[in-house]
A and B are shown apart, each in its own frame.
Chain A
Amino acid sequence: MHIKSVSELSQALRAKKLSSRELTEHFLKRIEEKDPELNAFITVTKAQAIEQADRADAMIARGEAGPLTGIPLAHKDLFCTFGVRTTCGSKMLDNFIAPYDATVVERCRDHGLVMLGKTNMDEFAMGSSNETSYYGPVRNPWSLDRVPGGSSGGAAAAVAARLSPLATCTDTGGSIRQPASLSGITGIKPTYGRVSRYGMIAFASSLDQAGVMALSAADAALLLSVMAGFDERDSTSVERLEERFSENLDAPLDGLRIGLPRQHFGEGLDHEVGACVEAAIAEYKRMGAKIVEVDLENTDLSIPAYYVVAPAEASSNLARYDGVRFGHRAENPQGLEDLYKRSRSQGFGAEVKRRIMIGTYVLSAGYYDAYYLKAQQLRRLIKEDFQRAFDNADVLMGPTSPSVAFRLGEKLADPVTMYLCDIYTNAVNLAGLPAMSIPAGFVKGMPVGLHIIGNYFDEGRLLNVAHRYQQITDWHSRAPKGFE
């Protein structure tokens, strides 16, 4: 069951060859057997999953099923789930039972998707290796001594290891695409505003966007169609006609203009990873695409700009964790200041504290203009670079990450090296564009991801471009040893 595509499973469910109960129990069993090696889940919601599966079977019986009714999925543990612990990978929220559902969770539930559990992640989504989680690191199914990427590392490992056919996830600077790349699966980060942020615990509000991880673009398209859409509870969500992202998957790619950003193939890129990406681009040429070189001049400024904007917003977003109303509270506080200091010192990990400090600093009187304002100006330049590139190209392609998955602990001591993992992905969030990562080969047994960036609200085309490649390659259907 776990190697079938979601649309195959969906057909089987609706033909009543398979019940959602059976399907759900199958995945729950796989989680029980395999997850101890990976640590992809923080919480497995077995009882709720069975209950939701039965509800889905009833929907199917009544003929009320949608394309994903009865299909199991896992939610990243920063989507609030009613009555279920929602930790954000932090000790701070270890005791937090969400009293409401995030819009994404609500839409999935209403559609009849079945929640298997909540996936592990870097603490407050701050990290590129899933090593900052209070619940311990996640291991990469392709090699257990390597990281799966982050921050949606649990989601990536769960999908790669076939513990869940689909997973929700979020991307603030690459947190969907980089782990998808390092774990050999398909991930899509939609245009900023496409999916509601309501109920998604904020890291950096102007960059955060929810998306999907799956084994293929076709599967991802199905879940994205359920998740996307305007939400009046999120002022930054965009009002557009609802789209069915599966409709255009098969469109031919003749004449597609693929832009290759010069800056994504330069120094710092592992040459074997580069070779995989070039081979993938050659496949696209054979499918009739035209290749153009484009310039994203300010690529090297995207990391500094990102590491001002994201921490600035985070420092404010995380101020609510003060031990007063919910979350971790220090014992026997000796007054207000002591309550704040000890609750926050104990509740947050090192990386989160580092970013709160940076963010507080860049917003301080006397530094605001030099850092925050300057970063906003850079952000505009970066956006303009992309706009110019899209004058000559329909999509942009390059590597998602400069290297394959690194070893656990390898980059933990040096935050800047860790930050450079997201050199190709950060800028996309600063510009608010949609982008994907799809499997495009292996280097020494570890997966390589092809990064595809689209113009605003062009997710349909991205999925089409990814799907056509997946029809002629089998990288995406290879499973890691031990998880076949």
Chain B
Amino acid sequence: MDWEPVIGLELHAQLSTKSKIFSGASTAYGAAPNTQACAVDLGLPGVLPVLNAEVVRMAVKFGLAINANILPRSVFARKNYFYPDLPKGYQISQYELPIVSKGEVTIQTESGELKTIGVTRAHLEEDAGKSVHDAFPNVTGIDLNRAGTPLLEIVSEPDMRSVSEAIAYMRKVHSIVRYLEICDGNMQEGSFRCDANVSVRKKGESRLGTRAELKNLNSFRFVERAIEYEIERQIEVLESGGAVIQETRLYDADANETRSMRSKEEANDYRYFPDPDLLPVEVSADLLAEIKASLPELPDAKRQRFSADYALNAYDASNLTGTHELADFFERTVEVSGASPKLCANWISGELAGALNRAGVEIDQSPVTPELLGGMLKRVADKTLSGKLAKQVFEAMWNGEGRADAVIEARGLKQVTDATAIEALVDAVIAANPEQVAQYRDGKHKVLGFFVGQVMKDSKGKANPGQVNEMLKKKLTG
């Protein structure tokens, strides 16, 4: 039987504010436990939340970026449940009236088509603290540093029909929040998290199947594996005549499986109601206009511009606009080098990406800056440097040996384009290899490669290969 998966994602983007959503405590990651939790975060008797205005601007930015409705008056509600890392006994979130609703995100499917994924809503909320179960014997530790960290929860429609669509959507949202600089996107530190709602149904069926909610998906790879596993599991259940039950399942990365956490019957009644400690969040037309005017160029627009202005193919355009740091790097490199955008793209996606990857360094920390790379490519473009020797120069720059011109000078890597010098080398090689000369003249033109190789070797790679080629042909034929 043919089954169709139906997937919706709930993404949590931690907003990169300096202080928390309702208090002045710092949001910096990695501090000693409970050193960044003030009276408000601790939920001491008598304290009150005060909204950090910056989070509203960030949510509005996101809403505008996905072409969504921005509510002029949204409301914070209390989600009530007991848990030791939830100090107040409720989480302040948005429920009936979220700040952002009805947006859309365009993704490219595996077949290359564009597909629009609906975003039901995006709402502001505070994060809970962290329960530490393995630090002390028989007791659980509570770290409230994270309590009150601002989150934007982005809820999609169940519009995705494959794992690859889900990943493409997640990557797109990841890229948008990073372009907007409202979230650092760091999944290891939990700044960007994903819960997935997964169900399957028979192809052609219009009703949705019963879904399971998958939690604990803290990398792109885990999201992919967990959804894959869950789809297979549900198909197996259905094909063996069983029924999928609505439940929350936890992904175990070590075992690569999902396990039941709680069923619908065990689910909390959160008793949402508007938080009387906070006023409705107002977004005026002026604020909206101001934020709209300040929006940066977004991934889709940038990709289109890269295709048009730099004549890049779809792959390069999409790849180079994956993050705004990468896109900026590329544009600056083109500007500095004056070389062809394709040459720059090849170097950035090839040599540079490889080196960054090996070193585990992000592009904005690259030791080879756009100025250095551009400076080198300028020399490739004006033929001072051969493509082969450029790799040497790149390596030298990576190791901190300075600008390309300095490296070329110091290592004597300048390409030889002086015809007289090249002619001397060519003549010497011809004279030394009469047998091969005879072969060539008998029509075995393949030996030309041998001659080129010899000349290049004698020039220590510095001779211009094009020139060598041409001169050899002329002399051998002559």
Q: Is the CB of B276 within 8 A of A313?
A: yes
* Best-surrounded residue of B46, B51, B272, B278 (most CB of chain A within 10 A): B46
* CB of B270 to closest CB in A, whole Å: 8
Closest to A318 in B: B89
Knowing A316-B78, A363-B273, A364-B271, say if A235 contacts B46 (CB, 8 Å). no
Knowing A235-B277, A325-B87, say if A199 contacts B47 (CB, 8 Å). yes
B88 sits at the interface (CB 8 A):
yes
A357 sits at the interface (CB 8 A):
no
Instruction: Please pick, from A99, A320, A340, the residue contacting B88 in the complex, using a CB distance under 8 A.
Output: A320
Q: Which of A299-328 contact B (CB under 8 A)?
A: 312-313, 315-316, 318-320, 322, 324-326
Q: Is the CB of B45 within 8 A of A98?
A: yes
A483 sits at the interface (CB 8 A):
no
Q: Which of A27-35, A151-159, A201-209 contacts B (4 or more CB under 8 A)?
A: A201-209
Q: Which of B44-68 contact A (CB under 8 A)?
A: 44-51
Q: Is the CB of A233 within 8 A of B50?
A: yes
Q: Is the CB of A80 within 8 A of B45?
A: yes
Interfacial chain B residues near A319, Cβ < 8 Å: 80, 82, 88-90
* Best-surrounded residue of A313, A316, A372 (most CB of chain B within 10 A): A316
* Best-surrounded residue of B48, B50, B278 (most CB of chain A within 10 A): B48
A350 sits at the interface (CB 8 A):
no
Give CA–CA (A233, B40) in the complex, Å. Answer: 10
Q: Is the CB of A88 within 8 A of B271?
A: no
Give CA–CA (A206, B49) in the complex, Å. Answer: 14
Give CA–CA (A47, B278) in the complex, Å. Answer: 38
B39 sits at the interface (CB 8 A):
yes
Q: Is the CB of B46 within 8 A of A80?
A: yes
Knowing A235-B277, A235-B279, A236-B279, say if A201 contacts B84 (CB, 8 Å). no
Closest to A363 in B: B271
B336 sits at the interface (CB 8 A):
no
Q: Which of B29-48 contact A (CB under 8 A)?
A: 39, 42-48
B142 sits at the interface (CB 8 A):
yes
Give the bracket for the number of chain A residues in contact with chain B: 35 or more
Q: Is the CB of B45 within 8 A of A96?
A: yes
Q: Is the CB of A206 within 8 A of B44?
A: no
B286 sits at the interface (CB 8 A):
no
* CB of B53 to closest CB in A, whole Å: 12
Q: Is the CB of B80 within 8 A of A88?
A: no
* CB of A102 to closest CB in B, whole Å: 6
Q: Is the CB of B271 within 8 A of A235?
A: no
Interfacial chain B residues near A201, Cβ < 8 Å: 45-46
Instruction: Please pick, from B44, B48, B78, the residue contacting A100 in the complex, using a CB distance under 8 A.
Output: B44
Q: Is the CB of A102 within 8 A of B277?
A: no
Q: Which of A213-255 contact B (CB under 8 A)?
A: 232-236
Q: Is the CB of B45 within 8 A of A86?
A: yes
Interfacial chain A residues near B87, Cβ < 8 Å: 320, 324-325
Interfacial chain A residues near B78, Cβ < 8 Å: 316
* Contact digits for B85-122, partner A, Cβ 8 Å, 1 yes 0 no: 00111100000000000000000000000000000000
Q: Is the CB of B278 within 8 A of A235?
A: yes
Instruction: Please pick, from B48, B80, B277, B279, the residue contacting A363 in the complex, using a CB distance under 8 A.
Output: B80
B265 sits at the interface (CB 8 A):
no
Q: Is the CB of A235 within 8 A of B82?
A: no
B418 sits at the interface (CB 8 A):
no
B266 sits at the interface (CB 8 A):
no
Task: Report how many residues on chain B are interfacial, defined by Cβ distance under 8 Å.
Answer: 28
Q: Is the CB of B44 within 8 A of A99?
A: yes
Interfacial chain B residues near A312, Cβ < 8 Å: 273
Give CA–CA (A318, B142) in the complex, Å. Answer: 20
Give CA–CA (A322, B88) in the complex, Å. Answer: 9
Instruction: Please pick, from B46, B89, B142, B273, the residue contacting A199 in the complex, using a CB distance under 8 A.
Output: B46
* CB of B268 to closest CB in A, whole Å: 10
Give CA–CA (A316, B271) in the complex, Å. Answer: 9
Give CA–CA (A214, B45) in the complex, Å. Answer: 27
Q: Is the CB of A205 within 8 A of B279?
A: no
Interfacial chain B residues near A318, Cβ < 8 Å: 89
B2 sits at the interface (CB 8 A):
no
* CB of A200 to closest CB in B, whole Å: 6
Q: Is the CB of B142 within 8 A of A100?
A: no
Closest to A360 in B: B271
B269 sits at the interface (CB 8 A):
yes
* CB of B147 to closest CB in A, whole Å: 11
Q: Is the CB of A93 within 8 A of B45?
A: yes
A15 sits at the interface (CB 8 A):
no
Closest to B23 in A: A233
Knowing A99-B39, A232-B50, A325-B87, say if A316 contacts B45 (CB, 8 Å). no
Closest to A80 in B: B46
Q: Is the CB of A322 within 8 A of B277?
A: no
Interfacial chain B residues near A324, Cβ < 8 Å: 84, 87, 142
Give CA–CA (A325, B144) in the complex, Å. Answer: 11
Q: Is the CB of B89 within 8 A of A197?
A: no
Closest to B51 in A: A235
Q: Is the CB of A325 within 8 A of B277?
A: no
Give CA–CA (A80, B78) in the complex, Å. Answer: 24
Interfacial chain B residues near A78, Cβ < 8 Å: 46
Interfacial chain B residues near A360, Cβ < 8 Å: 271
Q: Which of A187-204 contact B (CB under 8 A)?
A: 197-202, 204
Interfacial chain A residues near B277, Cβ < 8 Å: 202, 205, 235-236
Interfacial chain A residues near B273, Cβ < 8 Å: 312-313, 316, 363, 368, 372
Knowing A235-B278, A319-B90, say if A336 contacts B84 (CB, 8 Å). yes
Q: Is the CB of B276 within 8 A of A206?
A: yes
A365 sits at the interface (CB 8 A):
yes
Q: Is the CB of B45 within 8 A of A88?
A: yes
Give CA–CA (A86, B47) in the complex, Å. Answer: 14
* Contact digits for A360-374, partner B, Cβ 8 Å, 1 yes 0 no: 100111001000100
Give CA–CA (A93, B45) in the complex, Å. Answer: 9
Interfacial chain A residues near B276, Cβ < 8 Å: 204-206, 236, 313
Interfacial chain A residues near B271, Cβ < 8 Å: 315-316, 360, 363-365, 368
Give CA–CA (A319, B273) in the complex, Å. Answer: 14
Knowing A363-B80, A363-B273, A364-B271, say if A200 contacts B46 (CB, 8 Å). yes
Give CA–CA (A198, B273) in the complex, Å. Answer: 21
Q: Is the CB of A316 within 8 A of B80?
A: yes
Q: A residues engaging B (CB < 8 A)?
A: 78-80, 86, 88, 93, 96, 98-100, 102, 197-202, 204-206, 232-236, 312-313, 315-316, 318-320, 322, 324-326, 336, 340, 360, 363-365, 368, 372
Beyond A233-B50, A324-B87, 16 extra complex contacts between A and B, CB < 8 Å: A80-B45, A86-B45, A86-B46, A88-B45, A102-B46, A197-B48, A202-B46, A235-B278, A318-B89, A320-B43, A325-B42, A336-B84, A340-B82, A363-B271, A363-B272, A368-B273
Nearest 3 CB-CB pairings of A with B: A319-B89, A206-B276, A363-B271
